Structure 1
Amino acid sequence: MEGVTPHETTAAAPRPLWRRITGSTWFHLIAAFVVVGALLSFVAKPYSVPSGSMEQTLEPGDRVLVNRLAYVGSAPTTGDIVVFDADETWGPDGSADDGPLKSVLRWVGEVTGFGPSGPHTLIKRVIAGPGQTVSCCDAEGRMLVDGVPLDEPYIFEDFPFTAGSLDCTTAPVSLRCLPEVTVPAGSYLMLGDHRAASADGAMSCRSPGTDPASCWRWALRDQIVGKAAVILWPVDRWTGL
């Protein structure tokens, strides 16, 4: 009777290089960063509300999710809440005072929405777009766009206005009053919901003696990051915008 043939062991074939690379922890980590970066750059981005200029719609410290695709093939419209990168007409961006720690915290804030955001990124409400004519006020103290009064139930603590005693014809004039202006091409007029406490596009026009032709500040179309879609944090303020 023949003996049992011993089991012959064979060395396993080495895995292809591409499988060794794609199966590594470092590859998964890098891929995750690439995916997150792509989402933040092209789809959605968290943003930390830095001030009270949008109270009570948004509170300081709220974290909102910004839809970066909202205006692909379309344009912002009156009433939209928009995040945009402000240019030098809105004042210093504050980045010159950033030390190493603040720079790191700002980067973390840009990525996560927790901590400081961009050096001069603002969130305001769109009042009018290119070619539209804006003025204030009608007899009831309402903002006019192309001669039509806006319904703005979101306004919190507007400037005082009383027809006949403190309006656009009295002395002194109500600070709510603004000179008529046509929004330039590629630009948007942004105001805060906390109208009397917002450093917005019309702030300089409310000061006596300012030049009505040059007092306005605009958000430019290519500076718009996206449309604020939802409040993410704190949890008890979860809501769509």
Structure 2
Amino acid sequence: MTESDAQPQERDRPARPQKGWRRWSRSVRLWVVVALSTVVLTMLTNAFVMQPFLIPSGSMEGTLQVGDRVVVNKLAYRFGGEIERGDVIVFDGAGSFTAEQSDPGLLGGLLRTAGAAVGLSPSSDTDYVKRVIGVGGDRVRCCDSQGRIEVNGEPLDEPYLYPGDKPSNVTFDIRVPEGRLWVMGDHRSDSADSREYLGSPGGGTVPVDRVIGRVELIGWPVDRWGWLRSAHG
């Protein structure tokens, strides 16, 4: 074989990838793996451990403000922990406060999940945040001679009430069924809570199995960061 015969074969050999391209490709793959792992870890954490929630209304002022991002402990009641009076909880009000939620579709569900994962939007149109006033077996009534709510004949001390609000402008007297909760907002004059649904099935009470978790802290804005204390009665 002559030298001229060998030259076309040399030219037909594929060019070798440059080292810089290989490094860039490995870096991209690494970041993709990290991003996907972060998304999966965040979704698992939100599903089973902690989840951020956006406060969309003023029903819990002045404890929680509109726009607060709170962190909800989804394990608080999973391993024998009991829901107590005074706990601030997030629950699914479908079937008790609202009609059952319609399917938002695949795209709508993905967008809502993504927004809720970072606390930028409500996770559901039927999620509510309220304070537990009565648990199963309690008799809750309003009001005594001094205008206070009574639970099992004892008046509630409610330092968390929004300034200027009365404990309730609605009179009621209800025995909370076992496995259900009587819940109210701290801003009583601006809260659609158990009082609003007295005539509905369940008498305004919420099933325990609809509770998503207990609000533990305010994570945003930073000037309001802090742990949330329950006011147990």
Q: TM-score, with normalisation over the residues of structure 2? A: 0.76
1:216 maps to what in 2? 203
Which residue, out of 185, 194, 197, partners 1:192?
Answer: 185
Write the mapping of 1:141-152 to structure 2, written as runs, cut at 5 A.
141-152=147-158
The superposition leaves residues 140-174 of structure 1 with CA deviations (integer Å, 9 ceiling, x where unpaired) of 1111111111110111143488xxxxxxxxxxxxx
1:236 maps to what in 2? 223
- The structural deviation recorded for 1:122 is 0.4
Q: Note the aligned Cα RMSD (angstroms).
A: 2.6
- Is the Cα–Cα contact under 8 Å of residues 192 and 198 in structure 1 kept in the other structure? yes
Q: TM-score, with normalisation over the residues of structure 1? A: 0.73
1:8 maps to what in 2? none
- Is the Cα–Cα contact under 8 Å of residues 91 and 128 in structure 2 kept in the other structure? yes
Alpha-carbon distance between aligned partners in 1 of 2:111 and 2:66, rounded to the nearest angstrom: 18
Which residue, out of 152, 171, 175, partners 1:177?
Answer: 171
**Pair 1:105–1:88, CA change in 2 (3 A):** same
Tell me, which stretches of 5 or more residues in structure 2 are unaligned?
1-25, 229-233
- The structural deviation recorded for 1:31 is 2.7
2:38 maps to what in 1? 32
- Size of the aligned set, in residue pairs, is 199
1:133 maps to what in 2? 139
Alpha-carbon distance between aligned partners in 2 of 1:134 and 1:143, rounded to the nearest angstrom: 7
Q: Which moved more, 1:26-35 or 1:183-192?
A: 26-35
Percentage identity across aligned positions? Answer: 39
**Pair 1:183–1:159, CA change in 2 (3 A):** same
Alpha-carbon distance between aligned partners in 2 of 1:160 and 1:129, rounded to the nearest angstrom: 18
Which residue, out of 203, 208, 227, partners 2:196?
Answer: 203
- Is the Cα–Cα contact under 8 Å of residues 128 and 189 in structure 1 kept in the other structure? yes
- Is the Cα–Cα contact under 8 Å of residues 160 and 176 in structure 1 kept in the other structure? no
- Is the Cα–Cα contact under 8 Å of residues 147 and 167 in structure 2 kept in the other structure? no
The superposition leaves residues 101-157 of structure 1 with CA deviations (integer Å, 9 ceiling, x where unpaired) of 865542222211112331210000000101111111111111111111111011114
Matched, 1:81 2:88: yes
Write the mapping of 1:11-160 to structure 2, written as runs, cut at 5 A.
25-72=31-78, 73-92=80-99, 103-156=109-162, 157-159=164-166
Alpha-carbon distance between aligned partners in 1 of 2:189 and 2:32, rounded to the nearest angstrom: 52
Alpha-carbon distance between aligned partners in 2 of 1:108 and 1:214, rounded to the nearest angstrom: 33
Alpha-carbon distance between aligned partners in 1 of 2:111 and 2:226, rounded to the nearest angstrom: 27
Alpha-carbon distance between aligned partners in 1 of 2:160 and 2:137, rounded to the nearest angstrom: 24
- Is the Cα–Cα contact under 8 Å of residues 95 and 119 in structure 1 kept in the other structure? no
- The structural deviation recorded for 1:25 is 4.7
- Is the Cα–Cα contact under 8 Å of residues 48 and 109 in structure 1 kept in the other structure? no
Alpha-carbon distance between aligned partners in 2 of 1:199 and 1:95, rounded to the nearest angstrom: 21
1:7 maps to what in 2? none
Give SS of 2:194's match.
coil
